[in-house]
Amino acid sequence: MNLTDLSLLQLSEKLARAECSSTEATQASLARIGAVEPKVKAFLRLTPEEALARARASDERRARGQLLGPLDGVPLALKDIFCTQGIETTCASKILKGYVPPYDATVVARLRQAGAVLLGKLNMDEFAMGSSNENSAFGPVHNPWDLSRTPGGSSGGSAAAVAAREAFGTLGTDTGGSIRQPAALCGVAGIKPTYGRVSRFGVIAYASSLDQVGPLGRTVGDCAAQLQVIAGHDPKDSTCATEPVPDYLATMHRGVKGLTLGLPKEYFIPGTDPEVEAAVRQAASEYQKLGARVVEVSLPHTRYAVATYYLVATAEASANLARYDGVRYGHRAQAKNLAEMYEKTRDEGFGAEVKARIMLGTYCLSAGYYDAYYLKGQKVRTLIRRDFLEAFKSCDAILTPTSPTAAFKLGEKTSDPLQMYLSDIFTISCNLASLPGLSIPCGFTKAGLPIGMQILGKPFDEPTLFAVGHAYEQATDWHTRAPAIG
């Protein structure tokens, strides 16, 4: 058997029992990357020497009986949005080409302290703006289940690398669905934790009231093991919560007996692929067999979510991206004076979608429009959050499709931004309401493409999401299927 066929937790147990070494696991991952990467293109950058050196250090700790926990010696990879000391970090943008951060993001430092082996940096949509990875300045990622299709976005590299067995787990970020939607399209698990659950120090900002870091993995347990290490207060990020971090791996086995799951009627609508809807309804019946109650709930402001998101996210993006002026980071254009240097740097450095969003955001923040757009957006956002808090009075978690369709073709939606934006219709409200959301595989289309379902929870109730996801995984085998890349 190949080591890359194991889940993160299976590898971790094997390492703890000294049945294999971290060096062997890392070599297996690097060999797998060598074999499939020319087709999948999940990585922007590999760090094999560093990975092998850290694997050797882990093997020495094992020999001394001093393993640091479940991630010690496990090969993982990171979306290129996380600052990594001494390793180029571009956010898939030409404007950051050549930028080498002098420090690690807190989540990266925590993975290193836990002994994880980092294989490299993963492809994504430029500045995390996109739903298909086609906005990367360095070419798209290909979905391992069908190379002519998108892996989703913006954490497309993070999802594809897990699905293609290139890494045992990855980190992504999620502003409007960027962990859950690619997880669904690639047939893996991924969680966007509650806003504030994970530090964003050293994470390149897109929309600061929405961005959150989270893990992707082959199983719910693989996500829980990674979240355990990265979650928790960080004095370097004032938006990071002080809420204590529960033991996710221990509480994951609680089962669903006695729980009530809500199906929001606004999430089962025309426009959703009937195969996707059927798979999620089938999962709801499975939960009833497992002892949960399923009820209908209503989230009446859902239809305003996409519009609200594109006001709030673009406004915040226009403020965050103002720092890329050619003076401080990465690319700098040749010019006669300062103003021209700013202009040319931004013109050459930013891609079309990023430029469009900066302009939209600047417009809706400008004097005279601020109240009509940004402020109004914030008010609707409050209504969307209230819908959820109301719904959670009658259920413990909410079950929905993650994405209205399975993976679409590369190029299929690039000429129609509205169609592209609609692929996040089910994931966006969770960010606007600051809630946690988990996506797990729940079936396949007739064409053989994975389908994902989303489980939404109360603030900081990640334990219930993991328990609900894990119970389903125990009863089904979707998560064990692997793509035949070819």
- Interface with ligand GLN by CB under 6 A: which residues? 128-131, 154, 174-178, 206, 313, 424
Residue located via tokens 């934006």: 421
> Mapping DSSP to helix (H, G, I), strand (E, B) and coil, where does residue 462 land?
helix
d(CA 177, CA 191): 10
**Best CA proximity match to 226, nearest among 55, 110, 63:** 110
Least distance to ligand GLN, CB of residue 486, Å: 29
Least distance to ligand GLN, CB of residue 263, Å: 24
- Given the complex with ligand GLN, which of 150 and 228 has the nearer CB atom? 150
| Catalytic residue selected from 7, 12, 29, 79 | 79
d(CA 157, CA 29): 15
**Best CA proximity match to 216, nearest among 113, 313, 124, 115:** 124
Least distance to ligand GLN, CB of residue 148, Å: 21
d(CA 217, CA 311): 31
Least distance to ligand GLN, CB of residue 475, Å: 30
Whether 79 is a known active-site residue: answer yes
- Given the complex with ligand GLN, which of 72 and 126 has the nearer CB atom? 126
**Best CA proximity match to 206, nearest among 169, 151, 153, 149:** 153
d(CA 141, CA 156): 6
- Given the complex with ligand GLN, which of 28 and 354 has the nearer CB atom? 354
Least distance to ligand GLN, CB of residue 28, Å: 31
Least distance to ligand GLN, CB of residue 309, Å: 7
d(CA 149, CA 394): 39
CB of 11 closer than 8 Å to CB of 222: no
Q: How far is CA 226 from CA 219, 220, 275, 288, 474, in A?
A: 11, 10, 31, 29, 20
- Given the complex with ligand GLN, which of 23 and 155 has the nearer CB atom? 155
CB of 74 closer than 8 Å to CB of 218: no
Whether 93 is a known active-site residue: answer no
The residues, any chain, with a CB within 8 Å of residue 25's CB and separated by 6 or more, are 3, 11, 15, 55, 73, 74, 75, 117, 168
> Mapping DSSP to helix (H, G, I), strand (E, B) and coil, where does residue 109 land?
helix
Burial class (CB in 10 A: 0-12, 13-18, 19+), 444: middle
- Given the complex with ligand GLN, which of 12 and 212 has the nearer CB atom? 212
Q: Which residue is nearest to ligand GLN (CB)?
A: 178
Residue 258, both tokens = 């006695």
Residue located via tokens 């969770």: 430
Whether 154 is a known active-site residue: answer yes
- Given the complex with ligand GLN, which of 128 and 164 has the nearer CB atom? 128
Least distance to ligand GLN, CB of residue 175, Å: 3
With b for 16 or more beta-carbon neighbours within 10 A and e for fewer, the 449-484 pattern comes to bbbbbbbbbbbbbbbbbbbbbbbbbeebebbeeebe
Least distance to ligand GLN, CB of residue 126, Å: 10
| Catalytic residue selected from 58, 93, 154, 429 | 154
- Given the complex with ligand GLN, which of 178 and 226 has the nearer CB atom? 178
d(CA 408, CA 423): 10
CB of 273 closer than 8 Å to CB of 400: no
Least distance to ligand GLN, CB of residue 62, Å: 37
The residues, any chain, with a CB within 8 Å of residue 399's CB and separated by 6 or more, are 261, 262, 263, 280, 283, 284, 287, 294, 453, 454, 455, 456
φ, ψ for residue 399, nearest 5 deg: -110, 130
| Catalytic residue selected from 22, 58, 136, 178 | 178
In order, the DSSP letters of 231-261 are BS--TT-TTS---PPP-HHHHGGG--TT-EE
- Given the complex with ligand GLN, which of 26 and 133 has the nearer CB atom? 133
- Given the complex with ligand GLN, which of 396 and 424 has the nearer CB atom? 424
So which residues are the catalytic ones?
A: 79, 154, 178
